[in-house]
Amino acid sequence: MANILIINGNPKKESLSLALAKAYQKGAEASKAEVKIIHLADLNLPEYFKQDYIAEDAEKVKEIQNDITSASHLVWVYPTWWYAPPALVKSFIEQVFTSGYAFKYKKNPYRVTWDSYLTGKTAHIISTMDAPPFFYRLFVKNPGGKMMKHFLKFVGIKPIRQTYFGSVKLSKPETRAKWIQKIEQLGTQLK
């Protein structure tokens, strides 16, 4: 049985991202998976990371790291803004996927090498955007998706699946309902 952690990275409390996260949860739970959702908007993270930063709530960060360690599959749900995930997602990555927890550099005077500590996990990135997904992938070259894939592979998570929906601004309610239904179906496929 899969243990799934859904990370809702939309800073807005009510959003299409939330609806997609809940749909994935519904589908996964229907397939008897264990599912937990983290809403990044509820975490009260600092706006940006500083090298000398010590988490105000170190226990909460440790709890999230334990949830990530326990999960076999991570589902990232967020809007793509300015070709990338929201700053909240990046802040979360910098404060939770830290050296010593998610990876550790090796001492090597000739090249940069590291150990990835989150191997054996898979991920799915689900993102909404105002651009059509084909335009984002073909012409803009998927910068936010590439950033997320490189980060996830760096810490040992693979394979990584990506699902994009857009244009949100031009979509009709029935189109959004189909997107939600598709994500619920995808949630049933990981056991």
**Segment 79-122, tens digit of pLDDT:** 999 999 999 999 899 889 999 999 999 998 899 999 999 999 99
* CA separation for the pair 95, 92 (Å, rounded): 5
Residue 51 has pLDDT above 60, yes or no: no
As given in the structure block, the two tokens for residue 182 are 């598709």
Q: What is the pLDDT of residue 54?
A: 58
As given in the structure block, the two tokens for residue 183 are 């994500």
- Give the CATH fold of the 3-188 domain: Rossmann fold (3.40.50)
- Domain map (residue ranges) of the chain: 3-188
Q: For 1-22, what is the mean pLDDT?
A: 93
Name the helix (H) or strand (E) containing 34: strand 34-39
**Segment 110-165, tens digit of pLDDT:** 999 999 999 999 999 999 999 888 888 888 899 999 999 999 999 999 999 999 99
- Residue 61 pLDDT grade (very low, low, confident, very high; cuts 50, 70, 90): confident
Please answer whether residues 36 and 5 qualify as being in contact, where contact means their C-beta atoms are separated by less than 8 angstroms: yes
Is 0.85 surpassed by the pTM of this model?
yes
Please answer whether residues 117 and 155 qualify as being in contact, where contact means their C-beta atoms are separated by less than 8 angstroms: yes
Q: For 161-173, what is the mean pLDDT?
A: 94
- Residue 56 pLDDT grade (very low, low, confident, very high; cuts 50, 70, 90): low
Find the DSSP H helices in 31-168.
Answer: 58-70, 87-96, 133-138, 143-154
As given in the structure block, the two tokens for residue 160 are 């990584």
Closest CA to 116 of 156, 153, 143, 83: 156
- Rounded to the nearest 5 degrees, what angle is found at the Cα of 25, between the Cα atoms of 42 and 182? 120
